[in-house]
Chains A and B, each alone.
Chain A
Amino acid sequence: MNGKISYWELFINGIFGENPVFRLALSLCPAVAVTNSVRNGLLMGIAVLFVQTMANVTTSLIRKFIHPKVRIPSYMFIIATWVTVTDLAMAAYARDVYAQMGLYIKLIVAFAIILSRAEVFASKNRVIPSFFDGLGMGSGFMLALVIIGFFRELLGKGSVWGYQIIQTNPLLIMILPAGGFFAVGILMGFFNWIDMKYFGGKGAGGAGGH
């Protein structure tokens, strides 16, 4: 980090400049699989936000001890540890939330975005910037999932957050996997347009840099 980029810019970078789903096109599998409703998208997003932030902080903390040749298994282990701890702690102390989110948490181990932020950012930066990068990436992922979920649920089921708005199913295909690709593609184009128009195609604050 060259010291010129503020924490706010790091955070915004995760949402617009390098949005995990729309800009980096990482973790598209969960983005398509769980976003057939707003609620599913949000729950998955919250779980990812937490694990992403914690994995980034941990990786940054012990980055000097990780041998470069075995860094990927090391990151995987950090992520798996956090996912397991989150899963067990929630199963024990937050049963109501766990009943809703338990399914999603175990999936996070295999998310490309979390591994990639550990490799690209947290392993090269201090703890606090890594924390904000994790926060931004997690929020960007959550936002992306909610937006995709909104369109898919509205078009596929005619409802938003489970409340029926239109009485028919206008486009059933939208809640099936194929519809997920349509939604992601169209929204990706839209985010590219925002990026070109407001950030000159470089991402917010030009924080790309790798």
Chain B
Amino acid sequence: MIKITVSLVIMFIAAGIIMTVVFAKTAPVIKEAKEREAREARQKMMPDADEIVEAGEWLPFGKHAKYFECKKAGETMGYLISGYGKGYSSYISILIASDRDMKIREIKILGHGETPGLGDEIEKDHFRSQFKGRTVEQLEVVKTQGTDRIQAISGVTISSRAVTGGVKEAMKLLRARYLGVKE
């Protein structure tokens, strides 16, 4: 009995030490790389903005997310907001670019842990491009063909809904914050 315990404990401690060392080494590198990628992603989403200023934080699903004002020659030309959707097996992290009048310019999936091969279809262009030019009211998911609503990817309904829901919440926040629309 003692032998079993000792054998397991030694192993767990050894593995724990290995993982701790690797984590300690990699954590700062990962954090820095993520911040750089987020910065680059923001610039890419708003290529014509010459200044992207952090404007505040909000808490979708209790997670920290930020929103930004995008300025060109000192004048606000649009907004960027990051949000989350609750998917099939993970929280899907989304970045949304919006016009000044709250029409979506583009959305981007920053990260998720959905089923490879199925759930990750949400990253693809044919799904994301459906969001272009939509307002909050037009963000509903349908399974059938149609142009006035977001069409779910077949076999990926939950993830499709999660993205749409996440985008909708984020757009609602922007609308309330900048246009004063109350829900």
Contacts and interface: CB of A to CB of B under 8 A. Distances in A.
Interface of A: 33-37, 40, 44, 62, 65-67, 69-70, 73-74, 77-78, 80-81, 84-85, 88-89, 91-93, 95, 103-104, 106-107, 172, 175-177
B33 A67 contact: no
Given A103-B120, A176-B155, 8 more contacts: A37-B117, A70-B4, A80-B15, A91-B30, A92-B33, A104-B116, A106-B113, A177-B118
Contacts of B116: 33-34, 40, 44, 103-104, 107
Nearest to B10: A65
Nearest to B37: A95
Given A67-B3, A69-B4, A95-B37, A85 B117 contact: no
B181 interface: no
Contacts, number: 77
Contact of A85 (B8, B18, B115, B154): B18
18 contacts: A33-B115, A33-B118, A34-B117, A35-B117, A40-B116, A44-B116, A65-B11, A69-B4, A73-B8, A74-B7, A77-B15, A80-B15, A84-B19, A88-B27, A91-B26, A103-B116, A175-B155, A177-B155
Interface string B11-48: 11001001100110111011001000100000000000
A33 B119 CA distance: 11
A81 B13 CA distance: 11
A36 B22 contact: no
Contact of B18 (A67, A81, A92): A81
Contacts of B11: 62, 65-66, 74, 77
Interface in B128-143: none
A2 B72 CA distance: 75
A95 B33 contact: yes
Nearest to B6: A67
Nearest to A90: B26
Classify the secondary structure of A's interface with B: helix
Nearest 6 CB-CB pairings of A with B? A92-B26, A92-B29, A67-B7, A81-B15, A36-B117, A88-B26
Query: Which one of A73, A77, A80, A172 has the greatest number of beta carbons of chain B within 10 Å?
Result: A77
Given A67-B4, A67-B8, A78 B15 contact: yes
B86 to A, nearest CB: 17
Contacts of A36: 117-118
A175 B154 CA distance: 10
Contacts of B30: 88, 91-92
B112 to A, nearest CB: 8
Contacts of A177: 118, 155
Contacts of A62: 11
A73 B11 CA distance: 10
Contacts of B3: 67
B23 to A, nearest CB: 6
A84 B7 CA distance: 21
Contacts of A85: 18-19, 22
Nearest to A58: B15
A70 B19 contact: no
A90 to B, nearest CB: 9
B155 A88 contact: no
B7 A70 contact: yes
Given A84-B19, A172-B154, A89 B117 contact: no
A163 B94 CA distance: 27
A70 B12 CA distance: 12
A77 B12 contact: yes
Interface string B62-104: 0000000000000000000000000000000000000000000
